[in-house]
Structure 1
């Protein structure tokens, strides 16, 4: 019963957090805690379930605990190999492969501790599992809330649609990834334009991206050209061509919006795996904007999602690293106490 009460409290905190600002990582944590305590409450009450149900649930849980990490590691390794084949061996493309190998490494270490009955290995494994448990919980919160955030309705009061840039192919051509953002940005623009009354000016689409060292023109110019060549009205596009990072995309686009229509809201468009982190960054940059995502190839998701989570984890590094160090200290103390 207590678990259900705690779950309700965290669910209420989640609801209040969403109403205050959807773009808060705390919302993800509240939701994760609510689901966790709800699960604990359900497990605690399983003894009252009809005959056979409790046994079935326990068997399924044991299978998940025993086989889940192995299956997950295999899927991550397979995805990592596919990423390397399709996207090259850049460090960012190796994340799912490294995660899969890491899980297998921890499982191997745990097996060695059991076989050798080594106290030192057991201490290392126990401490590692404590830290991994915390990180895994945050990762699950991140993925779950990012999924929900990506399915929220597009706001109706926006005057601007800001499409975030990414690298150009050959230094001048829009990549499929960027084309996906631009096509989604156009859809959002047309949706906002259709909702406006005759007394309100048409929305404006901002292409945001500067010129990288290996590019022959600013990304924003190539993005605007892509849209105009496909029939988008040229006078509805504003080019922000100074930014080099997502933070600068948001800050410099905010300057343009404040200059033309002070106090206006916007919808920011990026790829779906990047949407929630971009929303967190928009909040920090003072941009009054919702972030929506465009489709991305399925094989790209695992590595991209891990990369986004790592960036968010390090964004709150003082708290997260502090908790990880505390867990390590607790693991060491518990091991020495034995």
Structure 2
């Protein structure tokens, strides 16, 4: 490497496995390097670099740069490579042998436990979670359960998503469907300052323009017990149908959040986004897009300025001027 001319040298950080004291490190196993994945996908499809480039609308040089590790394709290009070559996405590559504790038998046992306890067959279980029946059938044969499906099962049936994935932690989430009815007080209605506008930016991110604390562009009447609650107006249609243009998201900074909740995430580089929290593991937050047109986002804890709980969505008619 030292014999190469300076312009051909590239500083590339070493990939080191990060351990997690909560035993959730299995959720982020080491993956195949991107350059190796592209080369394997191309060869699996029996394509030359030039042929793959033609199918993707790029040059042979672009493909060569990807396979040599000089550049990496965008997420959209990675998806297109997977489609063109019929090769699994990098995120679905098999994990390391050390993850053998997540054996196929244990996956099938956990799924069968859930079917027995809910009193449902595979078809009814799948229908309620809104997934294909063949996916549940594959779990019963030992196929791995995805993060998104584990979160969906937690939402519908109350099973802890970490337990669904690898029998970690309590079987049931904190809030059970058969709990005694104990409604929480919403708090008194108060005037929440609209502290900024969230507008659609590149790659599905949102850029927020915030006002000083205690001031804003008008107010919303909203029931809350959080003294620091505030509102942000949303501009654009990137989050339809969940959030429409002109609506407001109500933010409660002091409210705790958990996997499955919608949160407002502000990164230290100025990006602000509304996402669904999938899980946190090994110092990383894994976020799902409310709008499926945008992909998943993974951020290191050190990259995040703050994460605030999204308490609700308010209609434009609730706004009033100062």
Short-chain TM bin: under 0.3
Please give the TM-score of this superposition, normalised by the length of structure 2: 0.26
| Structure with the larger RCO, 1 or 2 (CA within 8 Å, 6+ apart) | 1
Higher normalized strand content (fraction of residues): 2
Please give the TM-score of this superposition, normalised by the length of structure 1: 0.25
Higher normalized helix content (fraction of residues): 1
